[in-house]
Amino acid sequence: MGTYVVTGSASGMGRAVAERLRANGHTVIGVDVQPAEVVADLSTPAGRRAAANAVLSACGGRLDGAVLAAGVGPTPGRDQPRRILEVNYFGVVELLQAWRPALAAGERAKVVAFSSNSTTTMPAIPGRAIRALLAGDVDKAARALRIFGRAASSMAYGASKVAVSRWVRRHAVTRDWAGAGIRLNALAPGAILTPLLEKQLSTPAEAKAIHSFPVPIGGFGDAGHLADWVVFMLSDSADFLCGSVLFVDGGSDAYFRSDDWPGPVPARRLAAYLRKFKRFTSFS
């Protein structure tokens, strides 16, 4: 039986994942601002450091997997855009960087980071905010969002999830991750009926926008079903999954972006592609 860390373990999908792992006999170290094994506020650097260290002590320096589900939704509020960036992006990547050696010490360790289908279905997410996050500059990212006024929370949410997905894809294939035997992937849910979505639905304007959003199969997803996908992505059956962003969203991404991806390498990227091809060394 393995040892897993699950952030956001007190509610919604993180809670459902923790319950399933425990039911399968695994040890779960939950991290949350609400009651959990490790109580920490991931919206501050000090809270993230405390969470990272507490988990490393609790697991004895060895983890078989990590699930990064803690997150805040795009509800309006003056401080909300920055909180979204802090929790949804830095609350994923800083913890993963701190836990990487423990994951490398684990048995075929797997990581699932929560992204969202807002990455591909939300228009006009500012590239400057995404680039600033990937450069580790939260102030610059927050400044890039100010011009959006009331919509800044939505844009922050989209930017945080695009940046998480890119971070996962960039790092998954490197010596430090794939080369250390760690499988790093992301899950991109659509609208799943959890307390996060319920909070958004409690505002009439947001509820109207959510209900009118195209979901080809209709309705909302179920937290337990998403947890089943996560458990699969943590299993040995997912050994060949590396750097993937898996969309489980009732078809919204396919509806809006059917012809955008997968797509061929554009001619203007050919030189960079060939350079990567030549540089490649296998980790097996």
Q: Could you list the residues that contact ligand NAI (CB under 6 A)?
A: 8, 10-14, 32-34, 41-43, 69-72, 87-88, 114, 116, 189, 191-192, 194-197
Cα–Cα distance for residue pair 144/135, rounded to 1 Å: 14
Cα–Cα distance for residue pair 111/184, rounded to 1 Å: 5
Cα–Cα distance for residue pair 198/205, rounded to 1 Å: 13
Q: Which amino acid is at 194?
A: T
**Nearest residue (CB) to ligand NAI, 99 versus 114:** 114
**Nearest residue (CB) to ligand NAI, 178 versus 197:** 197
Q: How many Å is the Cα radius of gyration of the chain?
A: 18
4, 89, 157, 255: which one is catalytic?
Answer: 157
In the three-class reduction of DSSP (H, G, I as helix; E, B as strand; rest coil), residue 184 is classed as strand
Question: Is the peptide bond prior to 262 cis by the omega test (within 30 degrees of 0)?
Answer: yes
**Nearest residue (CB) to ligand NAI, 3 versus 11:** 11
Query: Minimal distance in Å, beta carbon 220 to ligand NAI?
Result: 7
Query: Minimal distance in Å, beta carbon 196 to ligand NAI?
Result: 3
Cα–Cα distance for residue pair 217/253, rounded to 1 Å: 12
Q: Are 218 and 144 in contact (CB under 8 A)?
A: no
Cα–Cα distance for residue pair 34/196, rounded to 1 Å: 14
Work out the end-to-end distance of the chain between its first and last CA atoms, rounded to an integer number of angstroms: 25
Is 89 catalytic? The answer is no
**Nearest residue (CB) to ligand NAI, 33 versus 59:** 33
**Nearest residue (CB) to ligand NAI, 125 versus 178:** 125
Q: Are 43 and 59 in contact (CB under 8 A)?
A: no
Instruction: Please list the active-site residues.
Output: 157
